[in-house]
Structure 1
Amino acid sequence: MAVRKLEHVGIMVKDLDQSIPFYTEVVGLKHQYTMTHTNGIIRLAFLAGADAQESQLELVEGYEGELAVEGRTHHTAFTVDDVEAEFARIKQLGVPLRDTEITTLPNGARYFFFYGPDGEFLEMFQPAPGR
Structure 2
Amino acid sequence: MINRVDHIGIAVRSLEQTLPFYTDQLQLKLLKTEEVESEQVRVAFLDAGNAKLELLEPMSEKSAIFKFIEKRGEGIHHMALGVQNINDRIKEMKDKGIRMINEQAKQGAGGAQVAFMHPKSAHGVLVELCEKDNKKGE
Query: What interval of TM-score do these two structures reach, taking the shorter chain for normalisation?
Result: 0.7 to 0.9
The whole-number CA distance in structure 2 between the counterparts of 1:127 and 1:117 is 22
Instruction: Flag the structure with higher helix content.
Output: 2
4+ residue runs over 6 A deviation = none
Residue 114 of structure 2 aligns with which residue?
A: 111
Post-superposition offset of 1:40: 5.9
Count, aligned residues: 126
The whole-number CA distance in structure 2 between the counterparts of 1:56 and 1:7 is 6
Q: Tell me whether 1:80 sits opposite 2:80 in the alignment.
A: no
> Alignment RMSD, CA only?
1.9
What is the TM-score normalised by the length of structure 2?
0.81
For the 8 Å contact 1:38–1:105, the answer to whether it is kept is no
The whole-number CA distance in structure 2 between the counterparts of 1:117 and 1:9 is 15
Identity %: 25
Q: Give secondary structure in 2 for the equivalent of 1:65.
A: helix
- For structure 2, the 5+ residue unaligned runs are 59-64
Of 50, 54, 58, the residue aligned with 1:58 is 54
Residue 79 to residue 120, structure 1, CA distance change in 2 (3 Å) = same
Residue 68 of structure 1 aligns with which residue?
A: 72
What is the TM-score normalised by the length of structure 1?
0.85
